[in-house]
Amino acid sequence: MSLGRAEIQMTFNEICKRAVAKWGVEAQLDQAVEEAAELIQAINKFKRYNSPWPMIEEIIDVEIMVGQLKAIVREATGRSNNRMYNRIREEKLKKVEEKLKSWTSLGLSTEVSGEE
């Protein structure tokens, strides 16, 4: 049986909520810090050795912890905060887009080396 995208997201959210309930807010906040630190190390290794696999694994760990952080925020506020989260994300993405446009208008490259 294959799960649809919405079902996978519900399952992800439920697993994150259950993890926080099992191990507690304080422990999961500490775990989030640890996973973020491991991602920083993986990024540095990627820069030195150009090996993406450790970074990919740490990105996934951080994504899971972000899900748990969202569960903690939902519990603390008593609501999903999806609208606020999406609004803030859109604002931040617009800022990145504006920076990209300003770089392009100055004639500076926005291409990442090695990508076509």
Q: 22-69, pLDDT tens digit by residue?
A: 999 999 999 999 999 999 999 999 999 999 999 999 999 999 999 999
Whether 35 is covered by a domain: the verdict is yes
- Residue 15 CA to residue 9 CA, distance in Å, equals 10
Q: Is 102 a domain residue?
A: no
85 is a domain residue: no
SS3 68: helix
Confidence of residue 106 (pLDDT cuts 50, 70, 90): confident
Split into its structural domains, the chain has a count of: 1
Q: Examine residue 45 and state whether it is found in any structural domain, yes or no.
A: yes
Give the chain's mean pLDDT: 89
Within a domain: 107: no
Instruction: Extract the tokens encoding 26.
Output: 């304080």
Within-domain flag for 103? no
Asked whether residue 7 carries a pLDDT value surpassing 90, the answer given is no
* pLDDT over threshold 50, residue 115: no
With H, G, I as helix, E, B as strand and everything else as coil, classify residue 80. coil
Which residues, 6+ apart, have CB-to-CB distance to 57 below 8 Å? 42
Length of the chain as a residue count: 116
Residue 66 lies in a domain: yes
Q: Rounded distance, CA 38 to CA 49, Å? A: 16
Task: Tell me the pTM.
Answer: 0.77
What are the residue ranges of helices labelled H in 50-81? 53-77
